[in-house]
Amino acid sequence: MKNIKSIVFDLYGTLYDVQSVSKLCEEVYPTMGDAIAILWRQKQLEYTWLRSLMDRYVNFEKTTEDALRYTCAHFELKLDETLHRRLSDAYLHLQPHRDTPAALQRLRDAGFPLGIISNGSIATISQVVENSKLGWAFDDLISVESVQVFKPHSSVYALAETRMGLPRENVLFVSSNAWDATAAAHFGFPVCWVNRRNSVFEEMGVRPTYTAPNLETMTDMLLEQQVALGAA
């Protein structure tokens, strides 16, 4: 990983575990927790893509609420407004993946400026980060709100480059979402795909620059390279 001077992370699925909402779903709808969390996430993404294409942007919180409404209707589950609010709030209290805090600490200690670029509104990104007590790690929290279109529209990656304040070739883009990693690679970022589930990469004409099974290994790869360069 040469010439990397700063790092920008995706939030949902990369630093934070979107399946962590399944616990509350399971509590509310016994035996259905995982199925709900999976369809909810799938629909949430679809709605961001479809609304962006239709030029009908609403913020990520609204697409999340709409996706939950669809999911409960699909499974024929009752969803009143109190329950709807309680479940939607779960997306504000996502758990970080187990390897996230230590990786961020090591990268900060090595002097890398760190940022987040997310579909979430700035209020949501801030809450997720604060609720998990990881606010110390980030120099910048970047939301698609300011461009009013979701990933993988190229405006989002251009926004990340501008806000990180460095040419794209010096910013490592880190995502667990293969479609997000695809778009970032097409845009010209060096990309690390964090392949947490041993998945197959998307077939959209480009490969990630690097692949790591988790953030710990990614951090090892980056810091070893830096040491090697320093020693050279």
Q: Which residues contribute to the site for a second copy (CB under 8 A)?
A: 46-47, 49-56, 58, 66-67, 69-70, 73-74, 150-154, 179, 182-183, 186, 199-200, 202-205
Cβ of residue 75: shortest distance to a second copy, in angstroms?
A: 9
Which pairing describes strands 95-96 and 114-118: parallel, antiparallel, or unpaired? unpaired
Which residue of the set 10, 17, 99, 180 is catalytic?
Answer: 10
User: Which residue number, 133 or 207, has a Cβ lying nearer to a second copy?
Assistant: 207
C-alpha distances (whole Å) from 33 to each of 65, 71, 77, 91 are 17, 12, 12, 14
Q: Is the separation of the CB atoms in 132 and 94 below 8 Å?
A: yes
Minimum CB distance to a second copy, residue 205 (Å): 7
Give yes or no: 10 in active site: yes
> In this complex, which beta carbon is closest to a second copy, that of residue 197 or of residue 231?
197
Q: How far is the CB of 202 from a second copy (least distance, A)?
A: 7
* C-beta closer to a second copy: residue 50 or 123: 50
Q: Considering beta carbons, is residue 22 or 71 the nearer one to a second copy?
A: 71
How far apart are CB 36 and a second copy at their closest, in Å?
14
Mention every residue, 6+ apart, whose C-beta is less than 8 A from residue 115. Answer: 6, 7, 8, 9, 138, 139, 140, 141, 142, 160, 163, 164
Torsion of CA 81, 65, 175, 106, to 10 degrees: -30
173 touches 160 (CB < 8 A): yes
CA atoms within 13 A on the CB side of 166: 19
Return the active site residues: 10
